[in-house]
Amino acid sequence: MNVEEQVEILMQGVEYGDEELKEAMTSELRARLLEGRPLRVYCGYDPTSTDLHLGHTITMRKLRQFQDLGHEVTFLIGSYTALVGDPSDKNKARPVLTHEQVEENARTYAEQAFRVLDESKTSVRYNGEWLSKLSLVDLIRLGQNFTVQQFLARENFVKRLEKSEPIFLHETFYALMQGYDAVAMQTDVQVGGTDQLFNIIVAGRKLQDALGQKPLVGIITGILPGTDGVQRMSKSTGNIVPINTGAEDMYGKLMSIPDFVMGKYMRLATRWSPREIEDLEEELASGKAHPRDVKMKLAWEITSIFYGDTDAQTAQEAFVKLFQQKELPEDMPELQWQPDLTALDALLATRLVSSKSEARRLFEQKGVRLDGKTIENGNEPLPHPGVLQVGKRKFLRVK
């Protein structure tokens, strides 16, 4: 693949919020590629929780593109930055984690990442390797490259100031620490989401320049919307596509996204080339392709990335059988009916919901049915045995 073809692939799905900055990064990337050597590329992941969802993997997909083109990729676990917590997308300070919490969360990160990345071509490192060695004098020297005004101008800090909410001093350390990651690894390219724009473009590039290195190229990917198509994918809003719950669950959740966000999912979460995506969008626009069929192709492609072609095909067949042919699944959990058994008790006993609050929301949204009839009150005893349907994809046979 020639340099221009590489640039087209690697700049797919990027968002900078500024056309001049995008052109500058494109030009710098092209210049690095023309050097004819493998580039040193990394993205950092702070282990602030244990499980990853599809939104977390967008930057991994970009790293995989660099791998496939022959570049050197580092999957950096932020063992030290996680102790501070990135304030970039938060309206309040994150809790400060202990070393033990970080180590526990980090154990599963790389394993989950290798669903996307080529393990044999991935270097896994921890930024405690160099950040733990910085002295107070080192921190002072790093800090003299920035002004307080630069930090306070960040959107999330501005909002907190307007609301008279506290901004803690340690939160300003985060950008310095992430910037120093780039210095320590002599990075050519850093990948990150739009919430990392300041940390990458300002902090990383500025520290490299100040310490005699060539400033990195920032590849800033868009943020994947959740299954609602509007808000960013987040556990707190419940609009996530988990990557560890099975092929059928992933496929079904992807089939629930609104049609208008399919293009974004294509660009951020698939292995498709820009040309393939353009062709699909043209077929949609002309009416040649039905949105449902394109969405099925999209759901199959993403599910295949994480679970392989065979499981993706099985998931698609199960979806078609269940939703297009209106058949009940053959395999579903079972529970013995009792005269005093309520729908709420049944959902909690079989773990079809994680909490009473989730169950209440489902009942309020008319999302629980017994043999097709909506259950209005989850606290009333089930009138008879039958099949409970919870939402669109979960079923329970009450015998």
Answer yes or no: is 302 within a domain: yes
Answer yes or no: is 229 within a domain: no
The CATH number of whichever domain residue 161 belongs to comes to: 3.40.50.620
Answer yes or no: is 241 within a domain: no
Q: Strands 72-77 and 40-45, how do they pair?
A: parallel
Tell me the β-bridge partners of 370.
373, 388
Answer yes or no: is 97 within a domain: yes
Q: Is the pLDDT of residue 93 over 60?
A: no
User: What pLDDT is stored for residue 396 in this prediction?
Assistant: 85
Structural domain range at position 355: 334-398
Residue 211 and residue 272 in one domain: no
pTM comes to 0.73
Answer yes or no: is 232 within a domain: no
Q: Which of 269, 302, 324 is the last residue of a domain?
A: 324
Residue 53 and residue 152 in one domain: yes
Residue 254 and residue 210 in one domain: no
Answer yes or no: is 228 within a domain: no
Residue 78 and residue 189 in one domain: yes
Number of structural domains found in the chain: 3
User: What pLDDT is stored for residue 91 in this prediction?
Assistant: 44
CA distance 242 to 235: 9
Residue 262 and residue 352 in one domain: no
Q: Which of 324, 359, 375 is the last residue of a domain?
A: 324
The CATH number of whichever domain residue 342 belongs to comes to: 3.10.290.10
Residue 289 and residue 154 in one domain: no
Q: Are 197 and 17 in contact (CB under 8 A)?
A: yes
CA distance 55 to 327: 31
Residue 317 and residue 208 in one domain: no
| pLDDT tens column, 116-146 | 899 999 999 999 999 999 999 998 998 888 8
Q: Is the pLDDT of residue 310 over 70?
A: yes
User: What pLDDT is stored for residue 359 in this prediction?
Assistant: 84
Residue 75 and residue 155 in one domain: yes
Answer yes or no: is 158 within a domain: yes
Residue 21 and residue 142 in one domain: yes
What would the DSSP string read from start to end of 69-100? TT-EEEEEE-TTHHHH---TT-SSPPPPPPHH
Residue 26 and residue 164 in one domain: yes
CA distance 326 to 389: 13
User: What pLDDT is stored for residue 191 in this prediction?
Assistant: 96
Residue 273 and residue 157 in one domain: no
> Which has the higher per-residue pLDDT, 211 or 46?
211
> Which has the higher per-residue pLDDT, 297 or 233?
297
CA distance 52 to 398: 33
Residue 38 and residue 152 in one domain: yes
Percent of the chain as helix, strand, coil, to the nearest 5: 50, 15, 35
Q: Which of 223, 238, 261 is the last residue of a domain?
A: 223
Answer yes or no: is 272 within a domain: yes
Average pLDDT of 51-75?
Answer: 91
- Strands (DSSP E) along 189-335, which ranges? 189-193, 217-221, 334-335
The CATH number of whichever domain residue 317 belongs to comes to: 1.10.240.10
User: What pLDDT is stored for residue 85 in this prediction?
Assistant: 59
One-letter amino acid of 168: F
